[in-house]
Amino acid sequence: MGKLLRGSSKNARFFIVDTKDIVQEALDIHKCSPTAIKAFGRLLTGAVMMGETLKGNDLLTLRTNTDGLLNQMLVTTDANGGVKGYLSNSEVDLEIKDGEVPKVGDLVGKGTLTVIKDMGLKEPYVGISQMVSGEIGEDIAYYYYTSEQIPSVVVLGVSLGSDMRVKNAGGYMIQLLPNASESFIAKLEAKIKVMRPMTELLAGGMSLKGIAKLIYDDMDSKDELRLVEDYNVYEEKKVSYKCNCSKDKFYKGLITINKDELKEIFTEKPELEVECHFCMKKYSFVEKELLG
Ligand SMILES: [Zn+2]
């Protein structure tokens, strides 16, 4: 189970999340290469926080379409801390050159980030923005700034152990509220510059509450306990990798296929097997189930 903290202050709202278990589950399901799981894990982590801005049964989907080897990723999240996704070319990676670990942005490349919010209305909201770096965090921040006019800081990280399992994963997202003061913005920018990477904070054993305090800690004050401004934590909740597929859902999709096409499939083999992209679970149907 991952954990998420949500809160706000006069000038900003924030989301802080530990997604180690979510990213490990994604790695187990999709068998990603080291750099691919860093990219996909960051997208899952960003999505979980973005999902916190949803209500009720809303769904939010992030889709990347880029020119790198990892050219497509799709992640869907709900308002209840559930997230799932899939990606193309999950096993590809870049070579380690001169001992330097490949960058996420080099595997993902440049392209577009599509954000789809299904709020139960006739048409979903669709926002498209450029993937400016392929590093995911910056790309989500860029989306918020250009499509929703919300200045945001999005920091995401995934680290792996020498056993290639997920060691730490998580992130934080800080969004300025309308009319945020210049002095708050200046202090926040200065703070973000000196913050250690998210995976290091988690590796050091820092709690999500501790990270919130670190973000709001006033560096200009000699008093160690002084905050830039007071903040409230509204919620601390569990988040997880969750797929809600079922045989019935696939059945509903399959019966929309042309009957002749289905018959054709069953002349070649006795069973039609379908696989869920999100969790790799397989469901099989015999002719009687679909053609009665
Ligand atoms: Zn599934």
User: How many Å lie between the centroid of ligand 1 and the Cα of residue 29?
Assistant: 10
Q: Is residue 123 a contact partner of residue 142, using CB atoms and an 8 Å limit? A: no
With beta carbons less than 8 A apart as the criterion, state whether 144 and 136 touch: no
> Domains in the chain, please, with CATH?
2-241 (3.55.30.10), 247-291 (3.90.1280.10)
Distance 249 CA to ligand 1 centre (A): 10
- State the distance between the two ends of the chain, measured CA to CA, in whole angstroms: 42
- pLDDT tens-place string over residues 126-152: 999 999 999 999 999 999 999 999 999
Cα of 245 from ligand 1 centre, angstroms: 4
Rounded Cα–Cα distance for residues 256 and 251 (Å)? 9
Bridge partners of 6, per DSSP, are 15, 235
H helix count then E strand count, the chain: 10, 12
d(CA 291, ligand 1 centre) in Å: 24
Nearest-angstrom CA–CA distance, 126 and 143? 11
CA of 26 to the centre of ligand 1 (A): 12
Q: What is the DSSP secondary-structure string of 73-121?
A: EEEEEETTSEEEEEESSTT--PPPBTTBPPPHHHHH-SEEEEEEEE-SS
Distance 250 CA to ligand 1 centre (A): 10
**pLDDT tens per residue, range 237-254:** 999 999 999 999 999 999
Q: How far is the CA of 136 from the centre of ligand 1 (A)?
A: 24
- pLDDT confidence bin for 268, thresholds 50/70/90: confident
Rounded Cα gap, residues 283 and 277, in angstroms? 12
Place of tokens 């490990």: 24
What is d(CA 246, CA 62) in angstroms, rounded to the nearest whole number?
22
- Taking the centre of ligand 1 as the mean of its atom positions, its distance from the CA of residue 139, in whole angstroms, is 27
The band of 121, judged by pLDDT with boundaries at 50, 70 and 90, is confident
Ligand 1 geometric centre to CA of 278 (Å): 5
Contacts of 88 (CB under 8 A, 6+ apart): 70, 71, 72, 73
Whole-number Å distance, alpha carbon 143 to ligand 1 midpoint, is 28
Cβ-contact 64, 112 below 8 angstroms = yes
What is the CA(281)–ligand 1 centre distance, in A?
6
Average pLDDT over residues 5-18: 98
